[in-house]
Amino acid sequence: MAVQYDAVVVGAGFGGMGAAIQLKRLGLNNLAILEREDDLGGTWHVNRYPGLAVDIASVTYSYSFEPNPHWSRLFAPGAELKKYADHVADKYDLRRHMTFGAVVNGARWEEDEAHWVVSVEGQPEITATYLLTATGFLSQPHRPDISGIDEFAGKIIHTTAWDDSYDLAGTKTAIIGTGATAVQLIPEVARQAADLTVYQRTPIWVVPKLDVPIPSAVQKLFSRIPLTQRIARAVSSGILEMIMVSAVLHYKQVKLLNKGAAAASRAFLRSQVRDAALRKQLTPDYDFGCKRPTFSNSYFRTFTKRNVHLETTSIDHIAADGIVTVDGRKTEIDTLVLATGFNLWDVNFPAIEVIGREGRNLGKWWRDNRFQAYEGVSVPHFPNFLTLASPYSYSGLSYFTTIESQMQHIERLFGELKRRGADTFEVTEAANTEFLDRMTENLADSVFYGGSCQTARSYYFNQHGEAAILRPTSTRNAFVEAKRFPLEAYSIS
Instruction: Return residues touching ligand NA7 (CB under 6 A).
Output: 138, 144, 146, 176-182, 199, 201-202, 292, 315, 339-341, 457, 459
Q: Which is nearer to ligand NA7, 77 or 144 (CB)?
A: 144
Give Cβ neighbours of residue 86 (< 8 Å, ≥ 6 apart).
40, 41
Q: Say how many Å lie between the first and final Cα of the chain, rounded.
A: 21
* Residue 292 CB, nearest approach to ligand NA7 (Å): 4
Q: What is the C-alpha separation between 490 and 376, in angstroms, rounded? A: 14
Could you give the residue ranges of the DSSP H alpha helices within 26-156? 43-46, 78-91
Q: Which is nearer to ligand NA7, 3 or 323 (CB)?
A: 323
Q: Which is nearer to ligand NA7, 138 or 269 (CB)?
A: 138
* Residue 125 CB, nearest approach to ligand NA7 (Å): 34
* Residue 177 CB, nearest approach to ligand NA7 (Å): 3
Largest separation between any pair of C-alpha atoms in the chain:
72
> Given the DSSP bridges, would you call strands 335-338 and 172-176 parallel, antiparallel or unpaired?
parallel
Cis ω on the peptide bond leading into residue 391 (within 30° of 0)?
A: no
* Residue 142 CB, nearest approach to ligand NA7 (Å): 6
* Residue 314 CB, nearest approach to ligand NA7 (Å): 8
Q: Which is nearer to ligand NA7, 10 or 182 (CB)?
A: 182
Task: Tell which residue, 5, 7, 89, has the closest CA to residue 414.
Answer: 7
Q: Which is nearer to ligand NA7, 98 or 183 (CB)?
A: 183
* DSSP-assigned beta bridge partners for residue 7: 31, 130
Task: Tell which residue, 186, 149, 160, 155, has the closest CA to residue 171.
Answer: 155
Residue 281's Cβ-count burial label (10 Å; 0-12, 13-18, 19+) is middle
Q: Which is nearer to ligand NA7, 230 or 292 (CB)?
A: 292
* Residue 266 CB, nearest approach to ligand NA7 (Å): 19
* Residue 289 CB, nearest approach to ligand NA7 (Å): 13
Q: What is the C-alpha separation between 416 and 492, in angstroms, rounded? A: 9
Q: Which is nearer to ligand NA7, 116 or 459 (CB)?
A: 459
Q: Which is nearer to ligand NA7, 16 or 177 (CB)?
A: 177
Distance (Å) of CA 436 to CA 392, 432, 471, 489: 9, 6, 10, 13
Strand residues in 273-398 grouped as ranges (E)? 294-295, 308-311, 315-319, 322-325, 330-332, 335-338, 353-355, 385-387
Three-state secondary structure call for residue 75: coil
- In SS3 terms, 391-432 reads as CCCECCCCHHHHHHHHHHHHHHHHHHHHHHCCCCEEECHHHH
* Residue 461 CB, nearest approach to ligand NA7 (Å): 11
Q: What is the C-alpha separation between 465 and 449, in angstroms, rounded? A: 10
Residue 53 · residue 78 · CB < 8 Å: yes
* Residue 182 CB, nearest approach to ligand NA7 (Å): 5
> CA triplet 20, 34, 80: central angle to 5 degrees?
70
Q: Which is nearer to ligand NA7, 57 or 138 (CB)?
A: 138
* Residue 259 CB, nearest approach to ligand NA7 (Å): 22
Q: Which is nearer to ligand NA7, 325 or 361 (CB)?
A: 325
* Residue 323 CB, nearest approach to ligand NA7 (Å): 10
* Residue 479 CB, nearest approach to ligand NA7 (Å): 22
Q: Which is nearer to ligand NA7, 22 or 302 (CB)?
A: 302
Backbone angles phi, psi at 324, to 5 degrees: -110, 125
Of all residues in the shown chain, the one whose CB is closest to ligand NA7 is: 179
Q: Which is nearer to ligand NA7, 158 or 381 (CB)?
A: 158
Q: What is the C-alpha separation between 479 and 405, in angstroms, rounded? A: 5
Residue 263's Cβ-count burial label (10 Å; 0-12, 13-18, 19+) is exposed
